[in-house]
Amino acid sequence: MRFLQKHLPFRFAPLAAVNGKDIMTFIRQGEREGLSANTIRLDLALLSHLFNVARTAWGMESLGNPVELVKGQRPKNSHKAVTVAS
């Protein structure tokens, strides 16, 4: 959470100004700082939830969720599920 608070490149921007490029910058910055893929994934989940709450509970219906734009982008050090035949 400290990384999220300290290094979020758009932390002072209005939610509507945040885009997919900002999210990718955040992911790459976390990788450079040595954060685990799971930590980055959890931070992205928190950000996504923030945008969903803003849209539903705060009445910002037209607000898009930029985290969904980069859903297919995994952090580089993430592990893929492997199925082992028994």
pTM of the model: 0.73
CA separation for the pair 59, 37 (Å, rounded): 32
Contact 31, 77 (CB under 8 A): yes
39 phi-psi bin (left φ>0, alpha ψ -120 to 50, beta other): alpha
pLDDT tens digits along 8-26: 666 677 888 888 988 998 8
Average pLDDT of the chain is: 79
